[in-house]
Structure 1
Amino acid sequence: MRWHTREIKDVIDSMGSSAKGLTGNEALRRLSEYGTNTLKEGKKRTRLRMLGDQFKDFMILVLIAAAVVSGIVGDLKDTLVIVIIIILNAVIGFVQEYRAEKAIEALRSMAAPRAFVRRGGEVVAVASAEIVPGDIVLLEAGRVVPADLRIIESANLKIDEAALTGESMPVEKHTAKLHDGGLPLGDRRNMAFKGTVVPYGRGVGIAVATGMETELGAVARMLSEEKEVKTPLQKRMARFGKKIAIAILFICALIFAVGLARGEEPLIMLLTAISLAVAAIPEALPAVITVSLALGAKKLIKNNALIRKLPAVETLGSVTFICTDKTGTLTMNRMSVEEVFTGGDLYILGAGAKDTTGAALGGAEPGRELLTAMALSNDACYGTGGALIGDPTETAIFKAALDNGYDKKTLDQSLPRVAELPFDSDRKMMTTFHKDPSGGYVSYTKGGVEVIIDRSSQALTATGPRPIDRGVLTKESERMAGDGLRVLAVGMRRWPELPQEITSEVVEADLTILGYLGLMDPPRPEAKEAIKLCKRAGIRPVMITGDHPITARAIALRLGIISGNEEPVMTGPHLERLPLEEFEEKVLKISVYARVAPEQKLKIIKALQDKGEFVAMTGDGVNDAPALKRADIGVSMGITGTDVAKEASHMILLDDNFASIVGAVQSGRRIYDNIRKFIRYTMTSNSAEIWTIFLPPFFGLPIPLLPIHILWINLVTDGLPGLALAAEPEEAGIMQRPPRHPKESVFAGGMGLQIIWVGFLMGGLTVLSQALSLARGAHWQTIVFTVLCLSQMGYVLSVRSETKSVFSRDALSGAGGILSNKTLLGAVALTFILQMATIYVPLLQGVFKTEALTIRELVFALATSSIVFIVMEFLKLGKNTNHKKAG
């Protein structure tokens, strides 16, 4: 129902109520009919189902199959390792998802615990859950609105709707009906909505909706119904798992067929093929991904970004759009006097700045009088601990005066307040009277520009009062409003005696205008640079707010989200009228949205996702929660954010700083790079193992590796250095390249081909060492085992960067430098020591069926294995040289 378009009497009659409220019996009957005034929980997954869902990932299914096969062929060690990895990943995923299910509970907790209503003409306190449609509800400062109300009485009533609509200022409420049925929530000035807060004034409203029928209930319903989308990493790993499964089946069939063709026993060849296929699976990949994400999350905490869902760390690297709320995210979430116009001059104060700007403002009589008025005609005051309390506009004006040397506490002693006319929404101004120590009295009036100008006869200038120039004053107020400032005018009048009748008609007339105050919730200083960095990284920032279009455009221009006034700002009502298909044609061109409702934020995100974009959504209010959950990554604010927003998000900015997201994007890109490095390394190593076993029979050579050798290489040679790649620092220029395409294969950029040919090179050199060793009668199997292991050690040092060679000038420092990842160097050194132990420690010789190599054989193994490292590094040098010539 469009209650805001109906007269008060019509609303009361429609609800079957009266000014005295419902009777007790009628309230009980309606409670039975409509249910409690609470937010219902959506369908929740059980803990068992949450745990079971962790085993549905395709890569996990491949590992489960591998564990089963390993158990069948009797390889219990490999089976145990795989099972441990599967269980570890399932537990981590379960814990993360269980915490996310708290979103609805936090939303329900926002309801006011008790409320005051009229029942049978008496004011009684009732539980918020017992309020029913038709109840007459009393509102006072500090109370939470318990239901959706149509305002029927208002005494300077203001309601803070920032959490629901994004409006940064408390909204003045009145009782008059509105004519536009399609007004967004933020413009329904005769309505109060469940879950919002009353900071100022008093009022009475009739409950027109309770529980899930309220606007807050609509948000809760969207939040419970909205499904999370899979992250890019999850999608890529699913595709990767399928490719691995197909490759494994092909390898099994090929080796089995070759063995049969050579006359081998079918059962022996089947077990050999299966064992090799199991060895080809990168068992450590899920663990490496988890470790990479966990390390990234730990690093992000130091940068004030808390990761709630681990895959979100990597997702940031794929983001192409950041849809951000304005209030509290891009702005300071507090009003500030930004500009002052007085005596014909404009002063830029910024967020209450008090340097030379302030001195200039108080340097002439108009500025001094204006600052005095700002301090005295003000109801803000000091609270406990020296904090300012009061209406946000009042506290902003108070602080601007204080920062420029005009303290209300001091001025009250010399110019005490003796009378006042409080602000009300009909007059749109307030007046205070003060006793002047030089004799007589002075009154200061502040309010809307038009009403103050209409009641002024002159303006104060540096040379004294002059007749007002309406053209100049109107032009200046329009300029300030066009810049997104909320403009207030201030006037004064001197009185020889205190008027007998202090009414608006008597005292708020024949004023001398002192000037204008331009207020704004100012942009965060660091947000502009963060947006510039986002654009440089190929990420498009989009502002979505419930504020007025003029304010939204002004902030967007200041921050660089848009570059000129010609760029369109789309409003919520316009967006509502657009069919989805038509909107999708425009969505990539819009960077600023104003007066937007929660369901419209979802429409924007869905349209961008339908266009193939990966969307991050930042926000702090209840209104942001469904969109935070739907977005590819939801980012909430840690300080000003509601519990609902935090629980629905993937990441929380602990300092509410939009700039922190830039560091998070950088970490996301680094993590994905490191996962690709691990895949390149481990798959190349597995490829080398396959070639090493597959090639010898074609040259009349025996199978060179035992099952224990393959297991050792998989667990130690692949595992230790592979895990250490997770600590690799980001490469230079990581934030100067565009985001990865969301559907880009994990093998993109020629990585798949490199895995095959480098694996072939590694395997070929290993088989060559086997042939040469056999010809000389050396310890050939131990040499083959050592060459393959050490080849992988050299390759892992090279795989750290696709472009930077360790032979480059800055090879010892910076990302990709030989010393920049000490964890990897330690892992390589430890692996080398362990490999030597398998050769030279008698106890291990029996386990691994190895023999001690002579110095000459060890040098031969080291020289042969180093060829892979040397080839890769010279290829990078050649590639860089060609790039420089081309440049």
Structure 2
Amino acid sequence: MGKGGEKLVKGLDHGKSDSDHETFCAWAKEIQECENGNYIFYASLVRGGADSDKFTAFVEPLVIFLILIVNAWLIWQENNAEKALEALKEIQSDQATVIRDGTKIHNLPAKELVPGDIVELSSAANESCGFNKRRTTVVNGTRFACDRFSFEKCTYYFEIAVALAVAAIPEGLPAVITTSLALGTRKMAQKNALVRKLPSVETLGCTTVICSDKTGTLTTNQMAAVKLVAIGDTNDSLRDFKVEGTSYNPFDGRIHDWPTDGMDANLQMIAKIAAVCNDASVLWSSSKYVANGMPTEAALKVLVEKMAFLKNLTLDCIRILEIYYGAVENLLERSTSVQLSDGSVVNLDQNTKANILQTLQEMTTNALRCLGFACKNELLEFDTYDGNEDHPAHSLLLEPSNYPSIESDLTFVGLVGLRDPPREEVFQSIKDCRAAGIRVIVITGDNRNTAEAICQDIGVFGQGEDINSKSLTGKEFMGLQDKRSHLRQSDGVNDAPAPKLADIGIAMGIAGTEVAKEASDMVLADDNFNTIVAAVAEALGIPESLNPVQLLWVNLVTDGPPATALGFNPPERSIMKKPPRRHDDSLITAWTLFRYLVIGSYVGAATVGIFTIWYTHDSFLGIDLSGDGHSLITYSQLANWDQCSSWKNFTVSPFTAGAQTFRFDDNPCDYFKQHGKVKATTLSLSVLVAIEMFNSLNALSENTSLLVMPPWVNPWLLIAMSISFGLHFVIMYVPFLANVFGIVPLGLNEWILVLAVAFPVILIDEALKFIGRHGRGFAERCSTILPKPKSD
């Protein structure tokens, strides 16, 4: 058996190098949710009243089944984001570079590692440079306790205030908000934005600032070397070489003005540094060349190939060299000499340094990411260092304070410019952010000029705009204290604290690390900035469906007075003909709950229906609705209103509401937003109020028809209805209050439509009362036919 077979046997003996993850069990989650007190309470209400009416006994299993279905749907919605994240983990499973049996294997799945493999470790931060870890700090402090409080008696009034506040909040508001947020997360998931925490959807809609990483989010993260700068024959001359190609294909393009007689010593040193200071590789996969490692190092590897630098030339050194690549400014600060084209080394004077910095300025202004190259020939103690712990150089390496002196007196040899092209769709996304009043801040580790140039290309800064106060270094940015809701996007371990501290943190799903994803509230499945903007747009539309002030108005004013007046109801005429109630009778029977479901379904359909009718019909039930001049749209356009910006030749006519005229010349898509839908929202609110009033008439009696028990048997109810309608007219026709509640006055025809849509609630409840009365009579007749059990 060969070594490969031995590795296979080891894999079978030790199993996969993977930990078991707890799988999601839908039935266990369902049982856990059903232990919730609310579901037990609803089930007890249904069960308690089921035996009282054999005719309606079928309602009990139906209602319980509906409750379980709704609960299951909520569980499914809650776990959608987590399942999507698990799918992302499967797609981007951990991979390692290992040496097995003397062969280097790239992209080996981590779960296939076996004992004996030599694993090449990458940076923990997924960054090109390390970072210092802060040691654990223990703080010893003192706690103070106050055993007396001078305002202890105020707690009683505080409790009263809290109780009133709780009573004022609509009891259905939490359910409405939860459902709206859940539907919002589903729509965002369809747009590749996976929300991990439901409350984050509401926060996302309040975003005023987006702090985004540049590489991979605003750009394609596909680096390519486009310009090479080397030192000439003298220290004040520089040579520029234009590099073709924008992919990782080494045969894509060539280097212009490249010497035909071979590379000189200076170009060879640049190629040697780019090849040796490099952990990346370029592989042929799926009919194309792809980068394995950091995109920056992969681009340098492709540049070395285009320079036709032989790999064996990197191994011809008979002495030890220090070689570096990094920020040009930092290397120049540590350099004291430059290498000329013939390989000779001369002092780095101020003119040469200024010339290099001027070239750097021109390259960064063209949105190029620049890297400098340097080396050090005189290593003193390190010339004979072979890794032996007894060598004097070994003790120098153990002390980090010696590193600045070791990494000094460098020889600068050249620089290269890399281009990371912006994503095509980013420009429009940033334009949409500006229109929505959202400020986009780009955070990057690149040169300041490079970042400013790219920001101008993608529209963060306008052409000719003064950006002195808008382009900040990291230290300047950390000094800002702006109390705004901001969104932070990150990809690496170093960035993980940022999304954790932001109002809402976003991680990249493909290039992001697991630490960043766990610390975030939302994950981008496609690493695209456009997805962030689409998610913000979706979140902005959720609170607009119904104004919270209108919700409170319906709960306090339209529900309150009629509900209070119903307490003055006279007893029904047949009250004495009913059998006495049992002490264990439920407050709400199965039939009553079924009636609630039917009435509630009509209320929802009517409220949403009249909203749709205004947008799509110029008349309904013979009622003319074209008097305000509003434009008609199709059902398809209304259902996909968020795609309005992509519609061609879409225009909207102005419409009137009272003394106001609403125009949409600048942006026709505003027809679906706050001011454009104000008339439709007013119609929906008015229908809801009218239905509540008519429904209070239904509540005069549980089973008796309004023809037998007319509304005037309770004059207090009529007075309460008049007060509620009167208050609704006040907020609608008083301009100041109309602005507060976000509604507009309605015309006569529109009020006729409101009443026509709301009145059927009385007819539906009358039909249900009729079924209930005849069903009970039928059940009682059946009970007299059946033989009664003999008593002992």
- Interval containing the TM-score (normalised by the shorter chain): 0.3 to 0.5
Higher RCO (C-alpha 8 Å, min separation 6) = 2
Q: TM-score, normalised by structure 1?
A: 0.43
